[in-house]
Amino acid sequence: SQTIHQWPATLVQPVGSPLSLECTVEGTSNPNLYWYRQAAGRGLQLLFYSVGIGQISSEVPQNLSASRPQDRQFILSSKKLLLSDSGFYLCACTTVGFEQETQYFGPGTRLLVL
Amino acid sequence: QKEVEQNSGPLSVPEGAIASLNCTYSDRGSQSFFWYRQYSGKSPELIMFIYSNGDKEDGRFTAQLNKASQYVSLLIRDSQPSDSATYLCATGGGFGAGTTVTVRA
């Protein structure tokens, strides 16, 4: 079964600073990968998804970007953070096969922008 | 993103009671349906999936699907304090906002 790693676990950043969050997946090949953000007490907001290396689809226009330099690596970035970027960032993947729509989540990165 | 609606909650039930969670979806083409549990401060974890109309049971959890009514539910029998969490309904990649359940000891 797949394992999703995310780091860092927590991050406190000043407004206007850059951001790089990394997600790596083990135990599966050619996964679909997703970045979600969850504001405090709110639901999941899909930010980006990727079906392969270099293929990124954006769901929400914002100051964030994503990249997929390797099959099992997904990176979320920003050049200048906003206060509204604070939240819980979750990486997810879907497995190959019959249950391919099942999403599994990493442990998340909690970001606080001050 | 497909639209998924959940009963807003929060839902408070006494220990040992049945907690009933409801979810409706708008995309008639949806084929797979999922329930996730999310403890405070943690990431969501899959607890049930269902593809066919009817009931699917797994321990104290029962998922019910009615594609004609575009309705999926989750029943938690013999609720325990450890069931206190937010439950997310999902289909085809779209998630509901979640229902927070608190089980009173």
A16-49 confidence digits (pLDDT tens): 999 999 999 999 888 999 999 999 888 899 999 9
Residues on chain A touching B33 (C-beta within 8 angstroms): none
What distance separates the 2 farthest-apart alpha carbons in chain A? 44
Q: Would you call B1 an interface residue with chain A, using a CB distance cutoff of 8 Å?
A: yes
Cβ-nearest to B43 among A59, A90, A101? A90
Whether pLDDT at B27 is above 90: no
Mean pLDDT of the residues in chain B: 93
Question: pLDDT at position A97, please?
Answer: 58
Cβ-nearest to B43 among A34, A99, A107? A107
For tokens 């049971």, name the residue: B57
How much is the average pLDDT of B10-38? 94
Q: Name the residue of chain A whose CA is nearest to B91's CA.
A: A101
B43, A43: Cβ pair inside 8 Å? no
Distance CA A66, CA B8 (A): 32
Q: Would you call A44 an interface residue with chain B, using a CB distance cutoff of 8 Å?
A: yes
How much is the average pLDDT of B37-41? 96
Across B16-84, where does the E strand assignment appear? Answer: 19-25, 33-38, 45-50, 54-58, 61-66, 71-76
Whether pLDDT at B36 is above 80: yes
CB atoms within 10 A of CB A52: 12
Question: pLDDT at position B1, please?
Answer: 46
**At residue B8, what is the residue type?**
S
Comparing A67-71, B2-6, B58-62, B77-81, the range with the smallest average pLDDT is: B2-6
SS3 content of chain A, % helix, strand, coil (to 5): 5, 60, 40
A23, A71 contact by CB (below 8 A): no
User: Which pair of structure tokens corresponds to residue B29?
Assistant: 């083409």
Question: pLDDT at position A29, please?
Answer: 86
Whether pLDDT at B64 is above 50: yes
Give, in order, the Cα–Cα distances in Å from B93 to each of A28, A87, B2, B18, B69.
Answer: 19, 20, 8, 28, 20
Question: pLDDT at position A60, please?
Answer: 81
A97, A85 contact by CB (below 8 A): no
In order, the DSSP letters of A39-88 are -TT--EEEEEEEEETTEEEESS-SSEEEEEEETTEEEEEESS--GGG-EE
Q: Is B34 exposed, middle or buried (0-12, 13-18, 19+ CB in 10 A)?
A: buried
Which of B43, B45, B88 to mutate: most A Cβ within 10 Å? B43
Q: Would you call B93 an interface residue with chain A, using a CB distance cutoff of 8 Å?
A: yes
How much is the average pLDDT of B1-14? 84
Question: What is residue A11's three-state secondary structure?
Answer: strand
Distance CA B53, CA B71 (A): 10
* pLDDT tens digits, one per residue of A50-99: 999 999 999 886 899 999 999 999 999 999 999 999 999 999 998 765 55
Cβ within 8 Å of residue B18, ≥6 positions away: B75, B76, B77, B78, B79
B88, A43: Cβ pair inside 8 Å? yes
